[in-house]
Amino acid sequence: MITRCYLEITNICNLDCLFCPKTDRAKRKLSLEEFDLLTNRLQGKIKFLYFHLMGEPLLHPNLPQFITMARDKGFIPVITTNGTLLSRAHNIIASLPHKVQISLHSHEGNGKENPEQYIKEVMEFTQRAAEAGIVVVLRLWNQGGYESQNDHLHELIAEYFPRPWSERYYGWCVTKNVYLEYARIFEWPDGEREENDEKEAFCYALRNQIGVLVDGSVVPCCLDHNGTITLGNLFEQPLDEILSSPRARAIYDGFTRHEAVEPLCKRCGYAAVIKKFLGRGNSR
């Protein structure tokens, strides 16, 4: 079973974050019928279903229904959002996703100041969601980049969830079901970039994650935002057939040898970082 599938229910977003690569694909949203078909073909093969690759999932009017459908089919649903639309998200809490990840760095990534109202809406949602048993991860994935407001954000969060917080390896446990998580800002893979200096590489693509774009295209991982490495189409083919294709097997076998075989993967900083972090003995 593949651990995670990033199912893009829409590639439309309401923000224009400086760190986001955007996409030049046609804008669309999945219909209920399309979501049902895609999840039927993923059922029993995927554990966690992430409602995101590009786009803002809270823009989709059927998101609560999608979450319920996913749970009924045995998936563990996870939402990733920029947090700007949470004031309208009462039905999201009622549909009980397992986890909601809120990218707080999107506020500064749009050049916005005075985050008080933004954090107020995020914290009010977080309080209700945590009380309902939903895990909420407040993400500041902006280390080395858009982080000038972080100290102020910490103070605002502490007004709703007073310190002390419990320290974790990558952040804090703020209270039960609420976590504050840090990561460095990263460069998305880009075919125009130079190949990585690090020749050895490893990635969990096709091992414990895949992506499904809003048009049904299956890609190896959540960073293939333009569908550069399209392996097949889930509207037209079963997942097993797509994952057993020669191109998919070449990617999988390449990373088994700690080698990136696709040009895009050779230009992805994550593949080199994962290899360095895990070491050869722990990455398989």
pLDDT in tens, 209-248: 999 999 999 999 999 999 999 999 999 999 999 999 999 9
Pairing relationship of beta strands 166-168 and 135-143 according to DSSP bridges? unpaired
Contact 275, 258 (CB under 8 A): yes
What integer is the mean pLDDT of 246-267?
94
- Which amino acid does the sequence have at 182? Y
| Backbone φ/ψ region at 4: left (φ over 0), alpha (ψ -120 to 50), beta | beta
AA identity, residue 28: R
H or E stretch at 173: strand 171-175
Half-sphere exposure of 5 (CA within 13 A, CB side): 27
d(CA 280, CA 277): 9
Res. 181 pLDDT band, cuts 50 70 90: very high
Looking at residue 261, its amino acid is V
Confidence (pLDDT) at 283: 38
Q: What does the pLDDT read at residue 39?
A: 98
pTM of the model: 0.92
Altogether, the residues listed in the chain come to a count of: 284
**pLDDT category of residue 272 using cuts at 50, 70 and 90:** low
Q: How confident is the model at residue 201 (pLDDT cuts 50, 70, 90)?
A: confident
For residue 144, the tally of other CB atoms under 10 A from its CB is 9
The answer to whether the CB of 34 falls within 8 A of the CB of 68 is no
